[in-house]
Structure 1
Amino acid sequence: MDRRVFLKSAAFAGFSIATLPATLLRANADGSKILRMAYGAEVLTLDPIKTTYGADILIQGMMYARLLHANADRTEVGPGLAESWDIADDGKTYTFHLREAKFSDGSPITAEDVAFSWNRMRFQKDSAYAAPFQPLTKIEAKDARTVVMTLDRKFTPFLTLTEIWNTGIVPKAAVEKMGDDAFAKAPVTSGPFKFVELKPGDRVVLGRNEHYYRQGEPKIDGVEFRYVPDDNTRVSMFQAGELDVCLGVPAPRMAELKAAGFRADPEPSSTTYDMLINHSAEPFNDLKFRQAVSYGIDRTAINAAVTLGLGTPASSIMSPTLDFFDKSLPVIARDVEKAKALLAESGKTGASFELIQNAGSADEEKAAVLI
């Protein structure tokens, strides 16, 4: 998810992707097949431990292999870089047995690389998303092909966590030689695609990793991941054949694309649309005022108007598509009288505030107006 802070006034959970129908990718002049994608957010870093940002996560998922690999609907995980694993009877020790694999520079992926990658993700101070791994206390290479991880308690989600983006395996030698900053701009990868080029504010270009451990994969020669912030510009480029995949499509354009013969079937998304607030500044430094605003927002109506029924009213910053989501959480219903009473209790009846939304986002603009 791109946004991490949440007032319980989120209007709806989002949806994404439209792609071309079942046609082959157009070959470049040199005969190569490059998947051209565009997204409304810019890639900021290529280091998997340094981000929780949507664009970074999307591109890094193509660049780095993880210990385990999720199936298409994410209901279970299976072998990845680890071809097998053992769990101790007490549930606190996990032993991963690695397959033979190589990085994009041809060097072998060893247990030392895995332990290095996980230790920097778990313990490095600027690791952006170590919180879910708090039960993990020790990661060590037992031998060249065996990694042992020790937890301080039984933790059911642990295996699922071994395949999220920030557990992508990086080469210890390259990171230590280049340093974090340089590596984040031109990394050596372990996944299906290798780094080719980063143009800040424009695009990331990836090529087929000929050393990828999954034989015959990937089936294309590369990916061009472009930053196009305006929703309608992105869709127009897609319609004109400049893109093969358009990520982030305004709901009204979905029906238009489908009618034109494009594949435009939104998949469940982990995106949520949130109203972010500053709790330390007037007028939102008062709990009653925050509650008044929350009760004044009609999430159900906004969801219907913005997503045309493709999204769902949000009950949490977390999407219902995520594992372990509590589906019993209620959507806060609009209650004008309660909002007025809370506003009076806050003593801020004359207060006002501005909503600032991302330029070019049609859905966000409509939601902001309705809020």
Structure 2
Amino acid sequence: MSKTKDGVPSVIHNSRINRRTLLASAAALGGAMLLPGQVFAQASTPKPGGTLRIVMPFNPAALDPMTGRNVPDFNALYALFDALIAFDPATLELKPMLAKDWTFTDPTTLVLNLIDGVKFHDGTPFNAEAVKFNLDRFMNDPRSNVKSDLVSVGSVTVTGPSQVTLKLKRPNYSLPTILTGRVGCIISPASIKAAADGNVDRNPVGTGPFKFAEWRDNDLIRVEKNPNYWQPGLPYLDGINFRIINEFNTAARTVTAGETDLALNMAAQQIATARRVQDLTAEANPSMIFFTLMMNFAKPPLNDIRVRQAMNYAINRTELNQVLMLGLGEPTSTMFPKDFWAVDAGTAQFYQHDPEKARKLLAEAGYPKGLEVETWSWPDQTSVQRLEVVGNQLEQVGIRLKVTPSPPQVVNQAFYIEGKGAMILNPQGGWLDPSQTYERLFGATGQFNAGKIEDPQFRKLLDATGTSADAGKRKEAFAALQRFVVEQALHLPLVTSAAMSIRNKKVKDFKYDRLHSPRFHRVWLDQTV
């Protein structure tokens, strides 16, 4: 038995998996995820100052990483919060952040060593106690939407002023990757203890490069530079204004008109239009986001596998990619793009357009004349039109959608928490490790599993994906899991998306990564443009 530099006992094993080993694996896998020719340009001489004006089409449900649900929340979250572990936006290689290093001392023990001298925006210290407080809260708080991310964690122990040790219920070598997301974003414990019922949804206090200033629903989120940020010289910006405009075309036009500098979460139609404007940069980069209809498969009619499979056979995904994505996405029967390391080509295109087979399955399920399915949609014009196109395809085999458009926060409460309705069409994904995607969508505690049930075989297959740090073995395990989810038709995948943004030439060093999670630490404004 040896000791750490803090004098804490540390068990050493021959099978020890440390940060360097995991980084080597992540680099090999992450590099394969980039499409040929994708380059992130680096501007040379950053100039501090200025406020970046962003427009985005979605009002967050919360700015607490624990209680938010939607991918666009990360537009603001990574400005306010540092995660325990970061990743390179181009290669997705894991990098130190609030944790300066991490080591699996054995297959069920993960030790995180934290950086010293960091303070939260309220002046209180970031340390091991704060990390334990947050991880315990993420796992146990009744309001937590991220319990599934830490389902493999049994306990969190402070083993030094700047060290925490996570004891796992079972091996899970994907955990460092998971700690780059919501459960890695550390909030000031003092702010939570001071808030009524611990609710900091609208008053987030992190360690990030920007401090929260104000939030006007469906109008504006404003953040200001953190003058005491622990990374010297950063950020370059004085602040960021996140303007919220729910209609995509209107949002895009604010950049064209010079009212904003950067539009996030755009759709293919806005990219096509913006590319005609010489002074704008419109990008559609490879992405881990996909569009799917999430199903409540715990209750009729979608508890019948034949109905779920019929819906999958009714969809013409190639047509959807052309109509909805203008060819910028990929048709898929799963959740990952074809260049992703964990995707299995054998079942990626499992469901081909076959209306006759869809009708036969519906008849076998007792619906020879078809059926009506209660479906939620986000209320913006693009989302409604997207569901209309999908609905037209389903109607060809007798499946009629009864659609209720509502704001994301209303839909999330009604469908995912209260279990109302049968389906919802929205973007999903944006998680660095594929196990997170499966857990969030189909695990019994997953925040996007409306029915809160899971098949025992699903759990067995998912657990198998975390038992080894070897990329080849994980790929085999994910192939088996993918086949199960596809054959069981646990959702209705349509197309993968791209990370789409529009910006003017003043915005420098902006990188929209494959997870749709922009970081603004090094973004700067060139006032000479």
Q: Structure 2 length normalisation: TM-score?
A: 0.60
What one-letter code is carried by the residue in structure 2 that aligns with 1:368?
Answer: E
2:175 pairs with 1:175:
no
Identity %: 26
Given that residues 41 and 54 in structure 1 are in contact (C-alpha distance below 8 angstroms), is that contact kept between their aligned partners in structure 2?
A: no
Report the AA paired with residue 354 of structure 2.
D
Q: 3-state SS of the aligned residue for 1:264?
A: strand
CA distance in 2: counterparts of 1:280 and 1:153, whole angstroms: 27
Shift of 1:306: 1.5
Give the stretch that moved more between structures: 150-159 or 316-325: 316-325
- What letter matches 2:66 in structure 1? I
Secondary structure of 2:364's match?
Answer: helix
1:121 positional shift:
1.1
Partner secondary structure for residue 78 of structure 1: strand
Letter in 2 for 1:351: G
Match of 1:338 in 2: 357
Partner of residue 86, structure 2: 69
In structure 1, C-alpha distance between the alignment counterparts of 2:96 and 2:138, rounded to whole Å? 21
Indicate the residue corresponding to 2:239 in structure 1: 222
How far off is 1:356 after superposition? 5.4
Match of 1:272 among 290, 299, 309: 290
Partner Cα separation in structure 1 for residue 340 and residue 227 of structure 2? 33
Equivalent residue, structure 1, for 2:316: 298
Counterpart check, 1:308 vs 2:326 = yes
Q: How much has 1:248 moved relative to structure 2?
A: 2.7
Equivalence for 1:39: 56
Per the alignment, residue 184 of structure 1 pairs with 201
* Offset, 1:94: 1.6
> For structure 1, which runs of at least 5 residues remain unmatched after alignment?
1-21
Displacement, 1:107? 2.5
Correspondence 1:164 to 2:184 = no
Root-mean-square deviation (CA), in Å? 2.8
* Structure 1 residue 81: Cα displacement: 1.2
Report whether the alignment pairs 1:126 with 2:143: yes
Matched, 1:360 2:380: yes
Task: Using the TM superposition, give the Cα deviation of residue 208 of structure 1 relative to its aligned residue in structure 2, in angstroms.
Answer: 0.8
TM-score (norm 1): 0.83
Distance 2:114 2:376 in 1: 49
Q: Which amino acid aligns with 1:127?
A: S
Partners of 2:135 and 2:70 in 1: how far apart? Answer: 19
Q: Once the 2 structures are TM-superposed, how far is the Cα of residue 170 of structure 1 from its aligned partner?
A: 1.2
8 Å contact from structure 1 (residues 272, 318) kept in 2: yes
Which residue identity does 1:255 align to in structure 2?
A
Partner SS state of residue 88, structure 1: strand
Counterpart code for 1:178: A
- Which residue, out of 221, 234, 252, partners 1:235? 252
In structure 2, do the counterparts of structure 1 residues 336 and 181 end up closer, same or farther at CA, with 3 Å as the change threshold? Answer: same
Distance 1:341 1:366, change over 3 A: same
SS at match of 1:329: helix
Shift of 1:113: 0.9
SS at match of 2:275: helix
Aligned to 1:5: none
CA gap 1:361/1:214 in 2 versus in 1, 3 angstroms: farther
2:283 counterpart letter in structure 1? D
Post-superposition shift, 1:212? 1.5
CA distance in 1, matches of 2:160, 2:171: 25
Specify the alignment match of 1:12 in structure 2: none
Secondary structure (helix, strand or coil) at the match of 2:363 reads helix
Deviation string 1:101-145 (CA, Å, 9 cap, x unpaired) is 111123221211111111111232321112132221121222322
Give the alignment partner of residue 149 of structure 1, picking from 163, 166, 170. Answer: 166
- Distance between the aligned counterparts of 2:119 and 2:91, measured in 1? 25
SS at match of 2:55: strand
Give the deviation of 1:54 after TM superposition: 2.1
Q: How far apart are residue 352 of structure 1 and its match? A: 4.3
* Structure 2 counterpart of 1:11: none
Aligned AA (2:222) = V
1:194 is matched with which residue: 194, 201, 211? 211
Q: What secondary structure, in the 3-state scheme, does the structure 2 residue paired with 1:44 have?
A: coil
- The equivalent residue for 2:221 is 204
Residue aligned with 1:275, SS = strand
Greater RCO (CA < 8 Å, at least 6 residues apart):
1
- Cα displacement (A) at 1:337: 2.0
Unaligned runs of 5+ in 2: 1-42, 394-529
Q: Which moved more, 1:116-125 or 1:81-90?
A: 81-90
Match of 2:485 in 1: none
| Count of matched residue positions in the alignment of Structure 1 and Structure 2 | 345
**1:238-297 alpha-carbon deviations (Å, 9 max, x no partner):** 211122111232323323212212111212223222234455676545443332232111
Alpha-carbon distance in structure 1 between the residues aligned to 2:197 and 2:340: 30
**What is residue 263 of structure 1 aligned with on the other side?**
281
